[in-house]
Structure 1
């Protein structure tokens, strides 16, 4: 006779142990005396997640006023965490937007759009021309390039943030199960949610929070229509730089128009060197050719694309001084929406399931506020920030079957 697998009962089961799931667990564990279980298919941190890596940008330069306001509130939460737990999670080093200035928005906004929003909100910045850019940093800008430098932006120490949320959640009683891959969800007649895992365990919860990143639609497909999301493999890596220049690299984002005769999407970014013993900078691209995009993680390719790797290498060597050898390239899965805004909402038709998805490569900087907002959804509390732009019912993220109907 086969051995019966015991069930686990909880008030809340969180599926996904990336930064969003961990932040939700942290804030839920502070609100009420709840039995909370978090399920993560791999390890924490998981090198296969979109939130993997040591640093993430935070910034106040946005073309979208909503994101600018969301960042201001998120920064308050980050600073509260630093004060409450006596740790450093943020490093202020400024951010440079530079490149071509055309009046069309990209997935990261635009230079003219960011300028308009900063002027409207009274955020101080410096406007620079190509000559000033070259004098200030080890770069070789094209003559028509312009720049905006905002001094209060910087980076989030992402690994430290993940560890803080995890350790504090566990201290507060959250049960974290790693190596527990969720394979299906089912809403029972009584209204509870049954969560089945690859190991055969069954978890019964009053509420489920789905923070599964690029695996979201794979799980939704087990009981309902998937949302209109795409998974983009985004290339990033590390390059060694000349030791004499290592302290001169800024945190930057370069805007260039897409080149129609190639796969060059024109959007590149980089971080300062924060490891002087190795003189490494983190760099990446912020676009993905359509042929590499997918709808499910079952078809996601981990091996970095050689053409994209070559484009990144050429860009760095043509635009920056002191670039030496590449010491590692990676593909991370970014879950993208058509409007590049997140989804943070109750799943339509399923009030017992809250979800966060569609991070579009820019969610990490907002996660304390996102975790707080998800906790408020679960607890049926009024949201402390306007969630209407992040609705799961907005047209561009509705399931394709619903849209076509």
Structure 2
């Protein structure tokens, strides 16, 4: 006999945890909190999902207006989480975007971002040359930049501390009575006629029946979508990104911003963080001021999950990161010439063909605007979903339980019904 729950969440990454927490805050018509179960095939703290690691970038610098509005809402919600738990989640410091003004990237173009900030009245400083960038942030070497580089400096930047944020959402969800089933895979999802009840069968034979379903499956999206007759379109891919930690020298370590370089779109996109004391334990125990630096391009792309999970950090990209740091920064910024031993890592991004996230109700077919009732989905986060974590959890809950969210207009660009997101399974 199936275990009865109000809500079941598949996927225990950051978005799934947030959704489980928000769903557990909802109440039925009798005023009773919804019963919620979250299922993940691994432990919550595992090295396989895209939510792993220690730092993520928070910033309001976006070219699409709706995205800037959404991330401002997420910013307030991050601070609510800090207030609820009494723990720091955002390490706030200035943000620097810099590079070619019209370099096209998944992040948008610098000029378009500046136009959006102007339109929304969000303050920032424009830096019109490499010398102005270096004057604002003296650790950057103006001679290491092309002469037409410009920059945007914005004070509403932060490093999201991944592990404290995980603990916050997990702790609040447990306090609300969420049932966690880990190291157990959902072997089947059986919808009712057009929707609920949804019966999920686990690998040990346990069945859970719920009126509301939330999917946050990460790179395993096809394992869940097939039960709805869908799979990712052929343009979907998993991109294995490479990163390392570099030790900072005392001169500039306290003044480093969170930064992103808009160089050439194919191999000139890099980003880094300020020291936060976060990182692999074997690294930060010896180098507490080490910082994560990553390339935002890859040489390793696949649509096979097993292949992605086995792909190591790319040594050519690690060499490129080291070379770029050597020219982009003043000589006394870093005390390590190469990535610290044991800090090299890879992270898998689930990417839709257009490079954007997928968030909404589950369509009845590819491109369909008819949807499965009481079910919502987040996938293909494209390495850009973490900053929205508290907001996306609320939105997924809204969509599953109410069928609509107050953020409906602003999330429309992420619609699962848009072209070339899914194909028939």
Q: Would the TM-score normalized by the shorter structure come out above 0.5?
A: yes
Question: More deviation in 354-363 or 293-302?
Answer: 293-302
Question: Which residue number in structure 2 is paired with residue 391 of structure 1?
Answer: 415
Cα distance in 2 between the residues matched to 1:201 and 1:150: 50
Question: Which residue number in structure 1 is paired with residue 115 of structure 2?
Answer: 116
> Are 1:251 and 2:258 matched, yes or no?
yes
Question: Which residue number in structure 1 is paired with residue 369 of structure 2?
Answer: none
Question: Which residue number in structure 2 is paired with residue 297 of structure 1?
Answer: 305
Q: Secondary structure of 1:106's match?
A: coil
Structure-to-structure mapping, 1:89-100, within 5 angstroms: 89-100=89-100
Structure-to-structure mapping, 1:141-290, within 5 angstroms: 141-142=144-145, 143-188=147-192, 191-228=196-233, 229-258=236-265, 264-275=266-277, 278-289=288-299
Question: Which residue number in structure 2 is paired with residue 55 of structure 1?
Answer: 55
Question: Which residue number in structure 2 is paired with residue 19 of structure 1?
Answer: 14
> Are 1:314 and 2:323 matched, yes or no?
yes
CA drift at 1:144:
2.5
Cα distance in 1 between the residues matched to 2:302 and 2:407: 32
Question: Which residue number in structure 2 is paired with residue 3 of structure 1?
Answer: none
Question: Which residue number in structure 1 is paired with residue 385 of structure 2?
Answer: 363
**CA RMSD in angstroms, aligned pairs only:** 2.1
Structure 2 CA distance for partners of 1:296 and 1:200, relative to 1, 3 Å: farther
Cα distance in 1 between the residues matched to 2:97 and 2:104: 14
Query: What runs of 5+ residues in structure 1 fail to find an aligned partner?
Result: 1-5, 259-263
Offset from partner CA, 1:98-128 (integer Å, 9 cap, x none): 11222x5311112111111111111111122
Cα distance in 1 between the residues matched to 2:294 and 2:199: 40
Cα distance in 2 between the residues matched to 1:250 and 1:388: 32
CA drift at 1:193:
2.1
Cα distance in 2 between the residues matched to 1:396 and 1:105: 21
CA drift at 1:191:
4.1
Question: Which residue number in structure 2 is paired with residue 261 of structure 1?
Answer: none
Offset from partner CA, 1:134-184 (integer Å, 9 cap, x none): 233312242332111001211222211111111111111110112112233
Offset from partner CA, 1:261-282 (integer Å, 9 cap, x none): xxx5211100011239522011
Cα distance in 2 between the residues matched to 1:81 and 1:247: 26
> Are 1:338 and 2:353 matched, yes or no?
yes
User: Are 1:18 and 1:46, in contact at CA under 8 Å, matched by a contact in 2?
Assistant: no
Cα distance in 2 between the residues matched to 1:311 and 1:287: 11
Cα distance in 1 between the residues matched to 2:101 and 2:221: 36
Question: Which residue number in structure 2 is paired with residue 139 of structure 1?
Answer: 140
Cα distance in 1 between the residues matched to 2:227 and 2:243: 32
Question: More deviation in 169-178 or 45-54?
Answer: 45-54
What TM-score, normalized to structure 2?
0.86
Offset from partner CA, 1:23-71 (integer Å, 9 cap, x none): 0111111112222110112122222211112221111111111111111
Q: Secondary structure of 2:38's match?
A: strand
Cα distance in 2 between the residues matched to 1:208 and 1:132: 51
User: Are 2:196 and 2:373, in contact at CA under 8 Å, matched by a contact in 1?
Assistant: no
CA drift at 1:76:
2.0
Cα distance in 1 between the residues matched to 2:97 and 2:51: 23
CA drift at 1:299:
2.4
Question: More deviation in 56-65 or 308-317?
Answer: 308-317
